Amino acid sequence: MKNEIAIIGGGISGICSAYYLHKSGHKVTVFDANEIGTQCSSGNAGLIVPSHFETLSNPGILKKGFKWMLNPNSPFFLKPSLDLELITWLFKFNTFCTKKHVENNKHFLRDINLYSLSLYKDLLEDNNIDFDLKQSGLLMLCKEEKTLKEEELIVNEAISLGLDAKVLNKDELKILEPNASFDVLGATYFKDDSKIQPYDFIMAMKKYLEKNGVKFFENCLIDDIKTNKNNITSIIDQSSVAHSFDQYVFTSGIFTSKLAKKIDLNLPMEGGKGFSFISYKNEALNFSTPMILAEEKVAITPYDDYVRFGGTMMLGVNDLKINDRRINNIRKSANKYINGLDLKQNDMKDQWAGLRPCSPDGIPYIGRSEKFSNVIIATGHAMMGVSLGPATGCIIRDLINEEKTKINISKMNINRFN
């Protein structure tokens, strides 16, 4: 049975959901509070990461967390707050920072990332969607011996999970990237990881969908929901206009939790505020492999003409203001790791801030509401929103079509904290 479907949220999860639902023959309308593609997806590092099989909540974060939280220059910072929701989230997050939790979820995170990567490759074959995907691998650059040893353990775990990973010494790193120089002891390399330009991808998908009859309502904030018994009957925008559909898919990132409360659904989430900027290529930036500066948690993604730098995780801050100290710390970190770089403040173009939707257990929320039968939720992807976009879209399509999903989604149960 074909449905009229509303997707609330036009980021990468929403746009992929619209694509796969349209392909299944459904009539789709996408609502976004801003212009399509301008929020979390636009400033993302653009990485597809099977290597990220450890949950955000892990023993390493717990070990460093308190020291980091009190340091305003650290990669992870908590703004002091008496907000009860934040305190509750932190308590839950703390309980999941265990080896057992990481062990219980590593196969799932590997599988869903590999699934999404395969779907990206399928989309690349669609001549109607013009975007670039490169399976360029991912480097973890390490300055300290301790960090390199920690990353070696992750490489061993990755190999046991069937991923292509290895440790590189300085000479091997030079062979991989002969035109650049790094001030590091060594690196680890995950060959399965890939990259896209997220905004270009979303715009290519939107262009195809509009051409094929999918409707888009941009700058249209949905701020209320009307229900009758076990169904949503309509969504209400900021102009008090009601929009009625057969099914409703909520993919609006951190803001999904606010709407979910209106249908008695508890989705604990905090916005992990991050920053990014681009700098145009120069001699020091003449490399093609994306990388993460392991000690600083800064992601660096090279494209043809520019490089995107991104990082930090600020909790307890829900605005989108640029924090000069934080974004300059990213610049300074890059200068420390890349020989000859010397980025200045005026080299930082397209400065951006976004709120990553983080669940306390580091697992996304994707599934159908138990109470309201025509509601599907997809949020909580944290730093893996771009990586998991197509997988999320296909899961939502399967749920709408009442078909078995290609992977087991029980770990993403949206009711697990109710």
| Residues 258-296: tens digit of each pLDDT | 999 999 999 999 999 999 999 999 999 999 999 999 999
pLDDT at position 269 is 96
Q: How many beta carbons lie within 10 A of that of residue 230, not counting itself?
A: 12
Q: Which amino acid is at 127?
A: N
Mean pLDDT value of segment 330-355: 96
Q: Does residue 277 contact residue 350 with C-beta atoms inside 8 Å?
A: yes
**pLDDT surpassing 70 at residue 69:** no
Domains along the sequence of the chain with CATH: 4-42+200-267+361-412 (3.50.50.60), 58-95+138-191+270-358 (3.30.9.10)
Burial class from Cβ neighbours inside 10 Å (0-12, 13-18, 19+) for residue 174 reads middle
Tell me how long the chain is.
418
Residue percentage of the chain with pLDDT more than 70: 97
Averaged pLDDT score across all residues of the chain: 94
Q: What angle do CA 219, 387, 395 make, to 5 degrees?
A: 80
**What does the alpha-carbon distance between residue 135 and residue 143 come to, in Å, rounded to a whole number?**
25
Mean pLDDT value of segment 96-104: 95
pLDDT at position 41 is 66
Mean pLDDT value of segment 101-118: 98
Question: CA neighbours within 13 Å on the CB side: how many for 366?
Answer: 28
**pLDDT surpassing 80 at residue 78:** no
Residue percentage of the chain with pLDDT more than 90: 86
**What does the alpha-carbon distance between residue 307 and residue 22 come to, in Å, rounded to a whole number?**
34
Give 37's pLDDT tier (boundaries 50, 70, 90).
Answer: confident
Which of 382, 407, 406 has the alpha carbon at shortest distance from 47? 382
Give 70's pLDDT tier (boundaries 50, 70, 90).
Answer: low
Alpha helices (runs of H) in 161-196, residue ranges in sequence order: 170-176
User: What tokens were used for 263?
Assistant: 């249908």
Which of 26, 84, 68 has the alpha carbon at shortest distance from 397? 26
Mean pLDDT value of segment 222-245: 95
pLDDT at position 58 is 85
User: What tokens were used for 50?
Assistant: 């099977």
Q: What angle do CA 275, 281, 282 make, to 5 degrees?
A: 125
Mean pLDDT value of segment 74-88: 81
